[in-house]
Amino acid sequence: MNNLTRMTRLEIVVPARDAPAIRELISSAGATGYTSVSGVSGIGHHGQHSGSLLFNEYDTLTMLITVLPEGKAGELIDAVRELLNTSSGVMFVADTYVSRPEYFQ
């Protein structure tokens, strides 16, 4: 597809206080980076989440997005799934395409 390279994208939404553990797994999996969006809002299994709060970043939800080669993604997916077995959060996994694959190797 237009000389793009296929990668795997993970989007993980967790309480902000659980985000450090996810970031550590992402780094340990060999991902070269991630994007963090704090104060995300929505409705899910545990009810409504109002989004960003003026003076509390600790009790909001954070979305972490990372892209990595398919070969590295499997283990990270298993690890995140293991972590989410006993704590709240969701993970979305999708194929994605990048123009500069060397950034993600």
The residues that touch another protein, with contacts defined as CB under 8 A, are 15, 18, 20-21, 24-25, 28-29, 46-50, 53-59, 75-76, 78-80, 82-83, 85-88
> Minimum Å distance from CB 23 to another protein?
9
Contact (Cβ atoms closer than 8 angstroms) between residue 22 and residue 64: yes
Q: What is the rounded end-to-end Cα distance, in angstroms, of the chain? A: 19
How far is it, in rounded angstroms, from Cα 38 to Cα 82? Answer: 23
* Nearer CB in complex with another protein: 4/35: 35
* Nearer CB in complex with another protein: 30/97: 30
DSSP 8-state class, residue 96: E
* Nearer CB in complex with another protein: 6/81: 81
> Minimum Å distance from CB 32 to another protein?
16
How far is it, in rounded angstroms, from Cα 10 to Cα 34? Answer: 10
